[in-house]
């Protein structure tokens, strides 16, 4: 093999390893599916501060978003419709803003007429624990705080496909 070909091959291999490592990257302290979320007090954006433990006893759907995130904004309406339709029978739904600016997050909630409880992440605690290396992220948690599943990307949460995803994780029949 020529020297130049070996050099290109070496750089190609390095690039491939970097890309593969990036695909496997996790956020610091991420709680994987099957593990239990740690306790944290969440700062209320449109209601009082609450601890994550106050949501124990019933499954919890956590939507992680940001006001500047187009796909997050696209799915917000379907999450609200899911809440209205489900009316808390299967789970509770909350939102977690990763905005650095509380003002921007609150402005977006007012603009979108949000009705469910939303909280602000502080110091990347929730973002890292939930694994939000990209947004939007929706995490389904059982009544004991154990992560049942994570969905990355925007979704129509009041669709039959989303219902099937939620039901399969809630019943354990994937």
In a domain, 60, yes or no: yes
Question: Could you give the CA distance from residue 56 to residue 2 in angstroms, rounded to a whole number?
Answer: 63
In a domain, 1, yes or no: no
Token pair 């490592």: residue: 21
Q: Check which CATH number belongs to the domain holding 151 and give it.
A: 3.40.30.10
- The pTM for the full model equals 0.84
Q: How many domains does the chain have?
A: 1
Question: Could you give the CA distance from residue 140 to residue 149 in angstroms, rounded to a whole number?
Answer: 5
Question: Could you give the CA distance from residue 109 to residue 88 in angstroms, rounded to a whole number?
Answer: 21
In a domain, 109, yes or no: yes
**Residues of the chain falling short of pLDDT 70:** 1-25, 174
Domain limits for position 115? 31-171
Question: Could you give the CA distance from residue 52 to residue 40 in angstroms, rounded to a whole number?
Answer: 6
Pairing of strands 41-44, 117-120: antiparallel
| The two structure tokens encoding residue 161 | 């496909």
In a domain, 48, yes or no: yes
Q: What is the pLDDT of residue 16?
A: 45
Q: What is the chain's alpha carbon radius of gyration, rounded to the nearest angstrom?
A: 19
In a domain, 2, yes or no: no
In a domain, 133, yes or no: yes
Question: Could you give the CA distance from residue 31 to residue 61 in angstroms, rounded to a whole number?
Answer: 15
Check if the beta carbon of residue 55 is closer than 8 Å to that of residue 132.
no
């Amino acid at each position: 093999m020529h020297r130049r070909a070996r050099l290109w091959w070496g750089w190609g291999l390095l690039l491939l390893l970097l890309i593969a490592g990036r695909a496997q990257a996790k956020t610091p302290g991420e709680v994987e599916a099957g593990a239990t979320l740690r306790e944290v007090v969440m700062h209320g954006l449109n209601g009082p501060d609450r601890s994550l433990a106050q949501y124990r006893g019933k499954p919890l759907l956590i939507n992680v978003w940001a006001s500047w995130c187009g796909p997050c904004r696209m799915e917000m309406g379907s999450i609200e419709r899911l809440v209205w339709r489900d009316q808390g029978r299967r789970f509770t739904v909350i939102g977690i803003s990763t905005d650095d600016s509380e003002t921007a997050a609150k402005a977006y909630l007012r603009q979108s007429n949000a009705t469910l409880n939303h909280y602000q992440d502080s110091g990347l605690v929730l973002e890292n624990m939930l694994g939000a290396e990209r947004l939007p992220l929706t995490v389904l948690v059982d009544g004991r705080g154990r992560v049942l599943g994570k969905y990355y990307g925007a979704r129509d949460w009041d669709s039959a496909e989303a219902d099937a995803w939620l039901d399969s994780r809630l019943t354990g029949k994937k």
